[in-house]
């Protein structure tokens, strides 16, 4: 089963993709995580992406399409994958369709996680994550069970994203509505769009996603 997780910044894509990947034995492919890793490692892609990401703008379609296509073809993805934060432009969606067709693959469900702007801003302001496994936490809504210890991997190091500041968030929301929201009618027309209420509690959102997937089967 192959899935796309869509939604504005802070909607809970990463949080839910990790849970659904574990439940269905899928690989989470987060373009944001891959790009942040490239920045940390100082690769050519990272060098090109850093300032664009910090400003809240989108990295070029060519770069993200290349990093995703490389991963989709690998054996680790043979049971299926979740594209978390990709595609984000119509051009990326068209490129993805071509890559999938060339490999004989299809997307079974596009899960749209809907959250109001006010909530997104609060979520992004309090977001931090485990430096070891990327698990997302929140100062108010989702603290580790034991203070300063990652629930998932036991890691003791946490970090905050350099683009989770008020100016970059305003740009990210604007770019999302301008460039990514137009993908919704595209996937609606393909009958693969499943919208869930991302404002509910984390566990409730996970259940909604499972029900949406199970209700539609994966053909």
Which residues of this chain interact with Zn ion, rule CB under 5 A?
130, 132-133, 135, 150, 152-153, 155
What are the angstrom distances between the C-alpha of 195 and each of 157, 179, 187? Answer: 34, 18, 11
Which residue stretch of 4-12, 21-29, 103-111, 188-196 sits at the interface with ligand ADP (rule: CB under 6 A)?
A: 4-12
By CB under 6 A, residue 50 contacts ligand ADP: no
- Identify whether 87 is preceded by a cis peptide bond (ω within 30 of 0): yes
Out of ligand ADP, Zn ion, none, what residue 12 binds, judged by CB under 5 to 8 A for its kind, is: ligand ADP
Q: Is residue 64 part of the contact set for ligand ADP (CB under 6 A)?
A: yes
Q: Which does 123 bind (CB under 5 to 8 A by kind): Zn ion, ligand ADP, none?
A: ligand ADP
Binder of ligand ADP out of 96, 205, 209, 213 (CB under 6 A): 205
Q: Are 124 and 10 in contact (CB under 8 A)?
A: yes
Q: Pick the closest to residue 106 from 183, 187, 185 (CA basis).
A: 187
Rounded CA separation 49/65 (Å): 14
| Binding residue for ligand ADP, selected from 107, 138, 193, 209, defined by CB under 6 A | 138
Residue 172 is among the residues annotated as catalytic for this protein: yes
Q: Count helices and strands (H / E) in the chain.
A: 9, 8
Residues forming the active site? 13, 88, 127, 161, 172
């Amino acid at each position: 089963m192959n899935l796309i997780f869509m939604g504005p910044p802070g909607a809970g894509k990463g949080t839910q993709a990790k849970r659904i990947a574990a439940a269905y034995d899928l690989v989470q492919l987060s373009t944001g995580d891959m790009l942040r890793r490239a920045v940390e490692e100082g690769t050519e892609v990272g060098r090109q992406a850093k300032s664009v990401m910090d400003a809240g703008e989108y990295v070029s379609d060519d770069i993200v399409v290349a990093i995703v296509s490389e991963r989709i073809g690998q054996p680790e993805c043979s049971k299926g994958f979740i594209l978390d934060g990709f595609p984000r432009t119509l051009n990326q969606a068209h490129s993805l369709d071509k890559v999938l067709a060339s490999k004989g693959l299809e997307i079974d469900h596009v899960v749209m996680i809907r959250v109001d702007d006010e909530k997104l801003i609060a979520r992004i302001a309090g977001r931090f994550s485990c430096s070891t496994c990327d698990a997302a936490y929140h100062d108010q809504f989702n603290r580790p069970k034991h203070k300063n210890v990652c629930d998932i991997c036991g890691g003791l190091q946490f970090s905050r994203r350099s683009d989770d500041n008020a100016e970059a968030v305003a740009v990210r929301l604007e770019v999302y509505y301008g460039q990514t929201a137009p993908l919704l009618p595209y996937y609606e027309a393909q009958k693969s769009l499943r919208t869930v209420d991302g404002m509910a509690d984390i566990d409730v959102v996970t259940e909604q996603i499972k029900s949406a997937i199970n209700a539609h089967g994966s053909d």
